[in-house]
Structure 1
Amino acid sequence: MTSQLRNGLKGQPLRDAPEDKTLPMCWKGSKAFKSVADARNFFKPLALSFGNSKKVQFQIPPEAYLIISNLGNVCLGILNGSQVGLGNVNLIGDISMLDKMMVYDNERQQIGWAPANCSRPPKK
């Protein structure tokens, strides 16, 4: 996933920011970013697949996987498990779950999600 993300950034006015220790992957622009909206056009939506199934994908727009660091850099909010001692597991942060309703199927031991406007309380 990270190599695809890096390839998508080729030709963009962003450079790696290894001095930013906020997260393992951060980039700096020509000037400090103030919000994800300033950086979102440099990035494409991600589609994460689970297991061997290509039918089940988690679509994530840039706003749901990027954060802006205190240094004004844009950082990837998904951790590569092999880089943080978790082995072959990617860690999806809470920012990726914003405005998602989680669905639990205990009988089939599955989880799912659906887009939701979580800024409003649910209708009764």
Structure 2
Amino acid sequence: MFAPSLAQLDVLAKQPDRIWWSTLAKSNLTFFKFGALNNRHTPPAVLAAEIDPEWWIVAMNNPRFPVDVLKARLKRDPLLALELVNPELDLVRQLALNGKTRAIREQAMRKLDELY
């Protein structure tokens, strides 16, 4: 089961870091993908290229995630701010005041409590 992935890792080990982390970020194996999306050596373009919504938060919490892409995603879906480790406080405050549902407003208030 792991033999093909170990063989791939052996080949990748001889590549530059950016290729190593880019390839791991595209992996179907959760362990490798999670490690790559959390790693500070993963190129920002690879983090921004993550298209699977279930991995967006992991990639967006990486400090090297491109700021312009982060702002565009948060503008499109402000609720993502509640999942970030260090969200913009103004955005969370806006959700607490103007969230569409009571549940969203309460979740935003809890996030503000966590942050302060």
Give TM-score, length-normalised by structure 2.
0.26
Structure in which a larger fraction of residues adopt helix: 2
Give TM-score, length-normalised by structure 1.
0.25
Larger radius of gyration: 2
